[in-house]
């Protein structure tokens, strides 16, 4: 049986959670005082929101944590029915060897408005024996009555040193060798998302125990910084057709999504030898083209149009 590394290397205690020291210190204080408020964890994917919630439950309840902790993913169960049935049923039962239970709603920003209103009423009714932890990428999608009842914790992308520490931990645990350029590649493709780091390392290790820059970019189907820089420099130099053909070939060869390509282009714009005003103009155009792709525009056409804007730029 193949183990899922994202679960295998998930910390068991708050002490082991990487980064977010200011958040971990407050969560540890809640455990010490056996007093946990309703909480809202907001931030990008793969930054430790679910891990922190589970680690909190393990520290708080010990061996009884599974009986006192219920995790629900709102992406799958997003309607009012799951609130009226699963969540209420769990909330009304008594905790096991504890003063209260914890209900963890992952990706709560996917809950419908009616479901969120039902959650709000449930939080009020069962506050004596149940605490809610809501996790979301965008806190603005959580209704204000819920936000006002929660202590809000903002999770940011992890720092490079924390990601490198995690890479070393996984490599040591699996007997892997990660080259220096392989570490840099993992930092580039993950953008602080430890879940993505883990998945790429597991996929790359199946073929070779030595993880290199080449294997990372191949597995993640991402563009190398130097490839992106070459395309942008060609477009800036008036070689639009060459830039377009090279980008098109890379997209076909690696099966890249239009939005992923735009993210790669976005990272390298800041490294171009052009004025700050020119960079500002490109970023503004990039936002417009990403919106068009999201709304259903052809990625190929939109990316070519963006390269045309780069070629016409007065820097």
Q: pLDDT per residue over 109-164, tens digit each? A: 888 888 888 888 888 888 889 999 999 999 999 999 999 999 999 998 888 999 99
The matching CATH number, chosen from 3.40.50.620, 3.20.20.70, 3.40.50.300, 3.30.413.10, for 5-154 is 3.40.50.300
Contact 60, 36 (CB under 8 A): yes
Give the start-to-end residue ranges of the domains of the chain. 5-154, 160-220, 225-311
Q: What is the pTM of this model?
A: 0.83
pLDDT per position as a tens digit, 90-123 = 888 888 899 999 999 988 888 888 888 888 888 8
Q: Which CATH class is domain 160-220?
A: mainly alpha
Residue 81 has pLDDT above 50, yes or no: yes
The matching CATH number, chosen from 1.10.3720.10, 2.40.160.10, 3.30.300.20, 1.20.272.10, for 225-311 is 1.20.272.10
């Amino acid at each position: 049986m193949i183990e899922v590394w994202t679960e295998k290397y998930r910390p068991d205690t708050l002490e082991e959670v990487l980064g977010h020291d200011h958040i971990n210190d407050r969560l540890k204080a809640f455990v010490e005082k056996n007093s946990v408020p309703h909480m809202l964890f907001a931030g990008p994917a793969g930054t430790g929101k679910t891990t922190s919630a589970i680690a909190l439950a393990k520290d708080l309840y010990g061996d009884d944590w599974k009986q006192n902790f219920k995790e629900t993913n709102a992406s799958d169960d997003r309607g009012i029915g799951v609130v009226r049935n699963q969540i209420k049923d769990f909330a009304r039962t008594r905790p096991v060897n504890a003063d209260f239970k914890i209900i963890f709603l992952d990706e709560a920003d996917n809950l419908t408005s009616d479901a969120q209103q039902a959650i709000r009423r449930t939080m009020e009714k069962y506050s004596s024996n149940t605490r809610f932890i809501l996790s979301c990428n965008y806190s603005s999608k959580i209704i204000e009555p819920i936000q006002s009842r929660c202590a809000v914790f903002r999770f940011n992308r992890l720092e490079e040193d924390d990601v490198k520490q995690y890479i070393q931990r996984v490599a040591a645990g699996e007997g892997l060798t990660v080259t220096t350029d392989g570490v840099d590649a993992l930092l580039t493709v993950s953008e602080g998302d430890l879940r993505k780091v883990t998945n790429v390392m597991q996929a790359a290790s199946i073929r070779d125990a030595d993880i290199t820059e080449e294997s990372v970019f191949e597995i993640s189907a991402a563009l190398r910084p130097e490839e992106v820089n070459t395309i942008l420099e060609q477009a800036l130099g008036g070689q639009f057709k060459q830039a377009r053909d090279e980008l098109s070939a890379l997209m076909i060869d690696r099966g890249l999504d239009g939005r992923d390509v735009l993210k790669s282009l976005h990272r390298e714009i800041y490294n171009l030898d052009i004025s700050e005003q020119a960079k500002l103009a490109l970023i503004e155009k990039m936002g417009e083209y990403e919106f068009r792709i999201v709304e259903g525009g052809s990625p190929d056409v939109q990316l070519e149009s963006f390269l045309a804007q780069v070629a016409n730029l007065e820097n």
